[in-house]
Chain A
């Protein structure tokens, strides 16, 4: 069946450094790829998304890139700050119009 693989499961970076989280999807018909951030004990919230007709999208310190040929997309966070510590989920909207979720990446920002 359709699936989304997300790596790494845990990522620890020094404050101020960059963090990259990668996802691979299986359904070639997927056309929408959101990223959600979930702080400890809170609800997931959308931080950025990208559609299949775009290769890259930026919003301040956050960027997402999409490679449709390779069927993978990545989240890039630059100049990481303590408030970036959270679990990040990628997802892909499949041919049944529902989101298929990655398993999540726990991002730890070391002071």
Chain B
């Protein structure tokens, strides 16, 4: 039982390049999330998927796209990376049917855009 697995752990991009962050969970959770974490700003929601087949914008969606490939997998794509997207990205999942619903996070992906 690996929990939430995200790849890659580290990535360096040049401005304008594209990349996809992959996330998979093995807890049969309905909901999945992508957050970014910047110093002093806590966790900001980029996109989420309440259930398989649905995706919604969070607080900071500009410059990102997502795909809920199936119940297990939720990917985040940067089409044209910008230095402002340098951050640590966390994928998370939760059982949305449970009131409250603990978030289980992946280990994080540190992205640097030069």
Seen from chain A, the residues whose Cβ lies within 8 Å of a Cβ on chain B are 6, 9, 32, 34, 36, 42-46, 49, 51, 89, 93, 97-99, 101-104
Contacts and interface: CB of A to CB of B under 8 A. Distances in A.
15 contacts: A6-B42, A34-B100, A34-B102, A36-B103, A43-B108, A44-B43, A46-B102, A49-B100, A51-B99, A51-B100, A97-B50, A98-B48, A102-B42, A103-B40, A104-B42
Main secondary structure on chain A at its contact with chain B? strand
Contact of A103 (B42, B45, B90, B100): B42
Given A43-B90, A43-B107, A44-B90, A32 B100 contact: yes
Nearest to B40: A103
A9 B44 contact: no
Contact-residue bracket for chain B = 10 to 19
B105 interface: yes
Interface of B: 40-45, 48, 50, 58, 90, 99-100, 102-103, 105-108
A44 B45 CA distance: 14
A44 B105 contact: yes
Contacts of B90: 43-44
B95 to A, nearest CB: 13
A32 B98 CA distance: 12
Contacts, number: 43
A6 to B, nearest CB: 8
Given A34-B102, A49-B102, A98 B41 contact: no
A34 B102 CA distance: 8
Nearest to B43: A101
B58 A98 contact: yes
A54 B103 CA distance: 21
A55 B24 CA distance: 36
A99 B90 CA distance: 14
B111 to A, nearest CB: 15
Nearest to B50: A97
